[in-house]
A and B are shown apart, each in its own frame.
Chain A
Amino acid sequence: MAATQNTTQKDDKAAAANPAEQQQATESKPAALEEDDEFEDFPVDDWEQEDTEAASGSGAAQHLWEESWDDDDTSDDFSAQLKEELKKVEASKKR
């Protein structure tokens, strides 16, 4: 059974290494849309809060989402068509 005694769990090995280096091997190619759905185990068990985006405060998070996205421009094609249609139907009603 000697062979098994050398078996070391990947977490233990990884914990001592730099997380960035660990990640490099698996993240070198850009993810394609048909990627696997599995949420893989992390190569390290724990990391410092300071290294995460959470530590940089809510300021950074605010740029991630658009809450006011309304479009007031009615000069586009779709609006022009709708205007035209409304006008035409309105005119036909008056006939």
Chain B
Amino acid sequence: MTLVIKFLSSIRGFVLEQNGDELRNWLMVEHDVPSIYFEMSNELKGGFPINSPALENLIDKSLPQEDNVPEGKGSPWPGFNSFIKEYLEYWRDVDFADIVRLHSRLSDLLNSCANALANPTYGTMLLQTSMSLSESLSKLVMNLTRQTDLLAQIQGDMTGEESGERKSIVELAADIIQKIFTSCLTDRSSTRWSEPKGKKVAVYLFANLTLKLLFACDKSRLAVQMFTNLSTSGPALSLFPASQRVTFLYYLGRFHFDHDHYLRAEMCLAEAYRECLPQFQKHRRQILTYWIPANLLLGRFPSWALLQRPEAVGFADIFFPICAAIRSGNFVAFHQALNLNRDWLWGKGFYITFLYRLKPLVWRSFTRRIFLITWQGTAGEGGNRAASLSFEDLVTAAGYVQKLLEGYVPAKPAARPRPHSVSKLLVKAVTNSAAGEADADSLLMPPPGGPRRLMPSEGLIFGNKRPDLENMESVVAGLVYSGLLNGFIARQQKRFAVEGAKKKGGNAVAAGWPNPYESILERFQEAHQDALDACDAGEGVDPPGEMDDVPGWVRTPP
């Protein structure tokens, strides 16, 4: 029993001195500890059987509550003693080979630690211990989520909840860590805008730990409540050390990216990147991994200067072909560029997002290119004709691209002089496909074996659907609505009419196809103004705040 008594005596000494660092150093839980912990474990097994009050009695005797505590000193408190009891029971029962049980005991231990930490007078001395136990539990949970058989055992055990609603082990661990986070957040030692004191110093440490766990397990949506709490009462991020700021903004940026708020994501990741020291290349690379996509989705391409940076090694191979395809409005190249690094893009969660959300930019460049090819009027020569783009030309060009996507090949020159009707019949016979109807007038003919069957996402409109006038009108309407094209649809004429060419010195292309990044930002500004107007009109909506407000990011008020 000597070891347990010695251990408790040392713990008491640290508590009296409020020495949080030493408490953390002694209250270890992982398997790679000095052998003396296992010796203590054996002693506990022998001397303190389960259901015996002996351990609790020894703890209460060894860690008595002090009556007169001098200024700056501490005392054990009931929550602390419960935690120490849980800690010693953990070492009595621990079996590092039984991961399922280990997970359960470690969760209970951290929960007990969180309860002890909540003590307003002395809880702060357990901050470091809470951190190290949270890290241990996170590590274990992250490992467990990769071992499906063990995961099934744990999840299978959790059938006790009456509602039938079962939380995953990630959620359960995140809940306990967030309990500690809340303890820190609600500490009253300092205000939101002053130097953090007490438990408040650890607000972003625990936020970051929770985020790390949630993102590692693909559960980032569970972070919503934490960000809401921060926005409501969290201390300003700028009051915390750079490492915590950068880490937090990285996760917050990824969170907004995952929720399709690319402007917010961009703001967070830009700040994280700028504040991260250049020598931390691995961290900057992680930030860039999401910052570049956020910018792409806002219509900005990474510069060569950026792609040449050491932390961007390999990124040019991924992003440059995508940018080139968007720039040229070439859908075939666009699909090729995405498929070139499909595994990487898919693994990071970008593939589907890029496929659908970058497509409008490809359409923008495509319509722009058709306009450049077909519009005859140039500055000063356009006369009275308003600059416009024919939908029929768009249908022809889009049809051509659709055929390329379906694997059509250049028609043999010899086949061209055939009489129209014969050629048409022949093509029909060869392809046995309704899609081949207009091919006689095309430069392309179906590939041997017929056109490729496309997945819905692989076609211009939807799979093998051949683009028609209605499709083109709807594509252009979408581009006008999103601000990527400037003009209106003249339905009678079946044309898109460019507006504002005079303002651009007669440059119809610049007028009709404004800078995409600026257009996208303008749309955000308009949406923000609409929200302000709705608020002014008393429509009972929450005020939208400033344009650059990012939920979860607490900035010092001006």
Docked complex Cα distance between A69 and B301 (Å): 8
Q: Are A3 and B34 in contact (CB under 8 A)?
A: yes
- Whether B517 sits at the interface, judged by CB under 8 Å, is yes
Given the interface pairs A23-B280, A42-B280, A54-B274, the reply to whether A30 lies near B25 with Cβ below 8 Å is no
Known: A1-B7, A67-B300. 18 other contacts (CB 8 A): A1-B6, A4-B33, A5-B22, A26-B282, A31-B282, A31-B311, A33-B341, A42-B246, A47-B243, A53-B274, A63-B305, A65-B300, A67-B299, A71-B328, A74-B369, A81-B443, A89-B396, A89-B442
Q: Are B373 and A74 in contact (CB under 8 A)?
A: yes
- Whether B231 sits at the interface, judged by CB under 8 Å, is no
Nearest-Cβ distance from residue B381 to partner chain A, whole angstroms: 17
Residues of A within 8 A of B281 (CB): 23, 27, 31
Residues of B within 8 A of A31 (CB): 281-282, 285, 311, 313-314
Is the interface on chain A under 10, 10 to 19, 20 to 34, or 35 or more residues? 35 or more
| A residues with CB within 8 A of B | 1, 3-5, 7, 9, 19-20, 23, 26-27, 30-35, 37-42, 44-47, 49, 51-54, 61, 63-72, 74, 76, 78-79, 81-86, 88-90, 92, 95
Q: Are B216 and A38 in contact (CB under 8 A)?
A: yes
Which of B216, B277, B306, B310 has a CB less than 8 Å from the CB of A47?
Answer: B277
- Interface pairs (12), CB distance under 8 Å: A4-B26, A4-B28, A5-B25, A49-B242, A52-B276, A54-B271, A67-B518, A69-B323, A74-B372, A82-B397, A86-B373, A89-B442
Docked complex Cα distance between A83 and B277 (Å): 50
Q: Are B305 and A64 in contact (CB under 8 A)?
A: yes
- Whether B283 sits at the interface, judged by CB under 8 Å, is yes
Q: Are A44 and B243 in contact (CB under 8 A)?
A: yes
Nearest-Cβ distance from residue A85 to partner chain B, whole angstroms: 4
Q: Are B279 and A65 in contact (CB under 8 A)?
A: no
Chain B residue with minimal CB distance to A71?
A: B327
Q: Are A85 and B276 in contact (CB under 8 A)?
A: no
Which of B6, B246, B301, B372 has a CB less than 8 Å from the CB of A66?
Answer: B301
Q: Are A70 and B26 in contact (CB under 8 A)?
A: no
Given the interface pairs A39-B212, A83-B373, the reply to whether A32 lies near B314 with Cβ below 8 Å is yes
Chain B residue with minimal CB distance to A63?
A: B305
| B residues with CB within 8 A of A | 6-7, 10, 21-22, 24-26, 28, 33-34, 36, 128, 212, 215-216, 241-244, 246-247, 250-251, 270-271, 273-283, 285-286, 295, 299-303, 305-306, 310-311, 313-314, 318, 323, 326-328, 330, 333, 341, 344, 365, 368-370, 372-374, 393, 396-397, 400, 420, 440-444, 509, 513, 515-518
Chain B residue with minimal CB distance to A23?
A: B279
Residues of A within 8 A of B400 (CB): 81-82, 85
- Say what secondary structure dominates the interface of chain B: helix
B28, B279, B285, B328 pick with most chain A CB within 10 angstroms: B279
Residues of A within 8 A of B278 (CB): 52-53
Q: Are A65 and B442 in contact (CB under 8 A)?
A: no
Nearest-Cβ distance from residue B295 to partner chain A, whole angstroms: 6
Docked complex Cα distance between A81 and B373 (Å): 11
Which of B247, B302, B323 has a CB less than 8 Å from the CB of A39?
Answer: B247
Q: Are A70 and B443 in contact (CB under 8 A)?
A: no
Which of B241, B311, B393 has a CB less than 8 Å from the CB of A46?
Answer: B241
Residues of B within 8 A of A51 (CB): 277
Q: Are B344 and A33 in contact (CB under 8 A)?
A: yes
Residues of B within 8 A of A39 (CB): 212, 247, 250-251, 283, 286
Q: Are A42 and B247 in contact (CB under 8 A)?
A: yes
Q: Are A65 and B302 in contact (CB under 8 A)?
A: yes
Q: Are A47 and B242 in contact (CB under 8 A)?
A: yes
Nearest-Cβ distance from residue A45 to partner chain B, whole angstroms: 5
Docked complex Cα distance between A38 and B153 (Å): 26
The 7 closest A-B pairs by CB, nearest first: A46-B241, A42-B243, A54-B274, A92-B441, A3-B34, A65-B300, A66-B301
Nearest-Cβ distance from residue A66 to partner chain B, whole angstroms: 4
Q: Are A84 and B25 in contact (CB under 8 A)?
A: no
Q: Are A70 and B323 in contact (CB under 8 A)?
A: no
Docked complex Cα distance between A44 and B245 (Å): 13
Q: Are B305 and A76 in contact (CB under 8 A)?
A: no
Docked complex Cα distance between A40 and B216 (Å): 12
Chain A residue with minimal CB distance to B280?
A: A23
Residues of A within 8 A of B372 (CB): 72, 74, 79
Chain B residue with minimal CB distance to A72?
A: B372
Given the interface pairs A5-B25, A82-B369, the reply to whether A27 lies near B286 with Cβ below 8 Å is no
Residues of B within 8 A of A9 (CB): 21, 24, 128
Chain A residue with minimal CB distance to B243?
A: A42
Q: Are A1 and B212 in contact (CB under 8 A)?
A: no
Chain B residue with minimal CB distance to A92?
A: B441
Chain A residue with minimal CB distance to B291?
A: A64
Which of A20, A32, A78, A86 has a CB less than 8 Å from the CB of B279?
Answer: A20
Which of B26, B313, B328, B515 has a CB less than 8 Å from the CB of A68?
Answer: B515
Docked complex Cα distance between A26 and B282 (Å): 9
Residues of A within 8 A of B128 (CB): 9
Nearest-Cβ distance from residue A57 to partner chain B, whole angstroms: 10
Nearest-Cβ distance from residue B336 to partner chain A, whole angstroms: 13
A5, A30, A67, A68 pick with most chain B CB within 10 angstroms: A67
Docked complex Cα distance between A70 and B328 (Å): 8
Which of B6, B282, B310 has a CB less than 8 Å from the CB of A40?
Answer: B282
